[in-house]
């Protein structure tokens, strides 16, 4: 049986909690935190679940998933509509257009997977690339996000690519333009900026940065990131900066290179490290 003292303590505790909640809300508003705005966005957990389920739908990895895939299409379309609900778009029309584009998106993803298999001697089969390669996963999610961004969807595309960023360490802005047969090998630490343009049959290694020369809000809306033409390979930890920087087709950019100027087609650019061998002092 609840005693009077226990009931009084419960009421007092609830009152303190409510007072603290109100104080926290006031402080948040004073700090400019847009509580109402943040309440009208898709829930992050649901966005993450949608990405996982959509990738599993596109690439079912066992017989059970293949069997379930036939009933998932409508459920995924409804899930996307729910995510789009808080955003200022026609959720039904966007979802319909997005799912109509899925076959073409899948073709592009498979081109990426085949390119990775063809270029990586460690790859034992297409299924390994699809299931286990973080570069393929990050690129696949980018392609989905880029499609949504092209349909005028705000915020959600960035939420998709940031989820892939957290899963893989590969940061691809959904606004970047990336051609066919794109490969990111290993990939950890790779960054591709919003206005980067990448041609067909391009391969990047881990730690590559396609970035801006400077970070200045006044430059929003301008091309700040480089253009990489077709059949270019960029090795680990190379940094290429600037919206006017163009890497000509069929070029090779070596590891640790720092580039802020364009290079012509068929270039080979390498970083020359200096090796010093310490010798024992002679007695």
* Cβ-contact 168, 138 below 8 angstroms: yes
CATH class of 39-170: mainly alpha
Report pLDDT for 10: 59
Report pLDDT for 282: 62
Tell me: pLDDT of 63 over 60: no
Helices assigned H by DSSP within the chain: 4-30, 35-38, 44-58, 63-69, 72-84, 91-119, 126-132, 134-150, 156-168
pTM for this one? 0.85
Per the prediction, the chain carries an average pLDDT of 89
Q: Which CATH superfamily is domain 176-273 in?
A: Hexapeptide repeat proteins (2.160.10.10)
Q: Which residue spans of the chain are classified as CATH 1.10.3130.10? A: 39-170
Q: Of the ranges 10-19, 115-124, 148-157, 161-170, which one carries the lowest mean pLDDT score? A: 10-19
In angstroms, rounded to a whole number, what is the distance separating the alpha carbons of residues 179 and 203?
11
Q: Which residue spans of the chain are classified as CATH 2.160.10.10? A: 176-273
Confidence of residue 13 (pLDDT cuts 50, 70, 90): low
Tally of CB atoms within 10 A around 241: 19
């Amino acid at each position: 049986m609840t005693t009077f003292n226990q009931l009084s303590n419960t009421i007092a505790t609830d009152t303190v909690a409510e007072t603290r909640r109100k104080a926290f809300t006031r402080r948040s508003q004073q700090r400019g935190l847009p509580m109402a705005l943040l309440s009208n966005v898709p829930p992050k957990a649901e966005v993450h679940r949608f990405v996982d389920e959509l990738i599993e739908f596109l690439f079912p990895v066992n017989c059970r998933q293949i069997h379930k895939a036939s009933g998932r299409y409508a459920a995924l379309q409804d899930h996307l509509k729910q995510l789009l609900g808080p955003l200022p778009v026609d959720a039904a029309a966007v979802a319909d257009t997005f799912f109509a584009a899925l076959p073409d998106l899948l073709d592009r993803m498979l081109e990426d997977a085949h390119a990775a298999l063809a270029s990586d001697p460690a790859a034992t089969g297409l299924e390994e690339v699809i299931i286990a390669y973080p570069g393929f996963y990050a690129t696949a999610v980018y392609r989905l996000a880029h499609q949504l961004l092209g349909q005028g969807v705000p915020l959600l595309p960035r939420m998709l690519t940031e989820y892939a960023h957290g899963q893989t360490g590969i940061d691809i802005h959904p606004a970047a333009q990336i051609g066919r047969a794109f490969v990111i090998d290993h990939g950890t630490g790779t960054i591709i900026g919003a206005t980067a343009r990448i041609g067909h049959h391009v391969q990047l290694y881990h730690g590559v940065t396609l970035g801006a020369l400077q970070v200045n809000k006044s430059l929003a809306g301008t091309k700040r990131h480089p253009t990489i033409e077709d059949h270019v390979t960029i090795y680990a930890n190379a940094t290429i900066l600037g919206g006017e920087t163009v890497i000509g087709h069929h070029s090779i950019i070596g590891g640790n290179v720092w580039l802020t100027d364009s290079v012509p087609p068929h270039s080979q650019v390498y970083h020359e490290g200096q090796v010093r061998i310490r010798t024992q002092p002679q007695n």
